[in-house]
Amino acid sequence: MVDEKKKIIRQRIKELKNQLSNEEKIQKSHSIFQKIETTDWFIHAKTIMLYWSMNDEVQTHDFVQKWADKKEIILPSVNGNELILKKFNGINKMVKGESFGIPEPDGELYPFPELIDVIIVPGVAFDKQNNRLGRGKAFYDKLLKTVKSKKVGVCFDFQMIDQVPTGEFDIKMDCVVYDD
C-alpha cells in the first residue's frame, strides 16, 4: 500500500517538474539557496555535503561552485547500491558517474563522514513533518542513518505535499527548504 502511494506521488511530481522551464528551475533554486545561506547552521558549517543536481532537481551546480573555496564541499557518488563520498575539487576534476551519468568528483573517498556538519538532500516530495520521498533506491536513507549531520531537504514548492507515505527505513529531515 505504501509503495503504491509512493509510486503515484512520484508520477504526479514528475508531471509537475516537466512543466518547469530551465529558467524557472534556476530561479527557484536560487531562491532556495539564498534562504539556506542566511541560516546559522549554514553560516557556521565547515563541511557540507551537497549533490550534483540532475536536470529535474533543485539546481546545485552554481551553489557548489560558489562555496567550494569557502567551505569543504562533499558530493555523493553511486557505487553499486550505496552512496560513497568524495570531496569536490573543482568542476574540471569531475568525471561521468557510472550509474546515472551524473558528474561526480574524481579522486579518493572522503574518509570523515562524521565531520560533515550539514547534508543537503534532494527528494521527490517532502511534507511539513519533514518526511522525505526519494526515487526509491534508498541511497540517501542508507547514508543518512549512519551520520549525525543536520539533514536538510530541498525542493520546489509544489514538491511539498500534505503527507509523504513512510516506511520503517525512511529517514526524516531536520528541516526542508523550498521556494515560496
113-150 pLDDT, tens digit each = 999 999 999 999 999 999 999 998 888 999 999 999 99
Give the DSSP letter of residue 173.
P
Written as nine digits, the cell of 117 is 556538519
pLDDT value of residue 78: 85
Query: How large is the average pLDDT for residues 47-61?
Result: 96
- What pLDDT score was predicted for residue 7? 94
C-alpha cell at 102: 551524473
pTM: 0.94
Alpha-carbon distance of 70 to 148, in angstroms, equals: 22
Note the Cα 165 to chain centre separation in Å: 19
Look up cell 527548504; give the residue: 177
Q: Does domain 2-178 have CATH number 3.10.105.10?
A: no
- Residue pair 13/124 in contact (Cβ under 8 Å)? The answer is yes
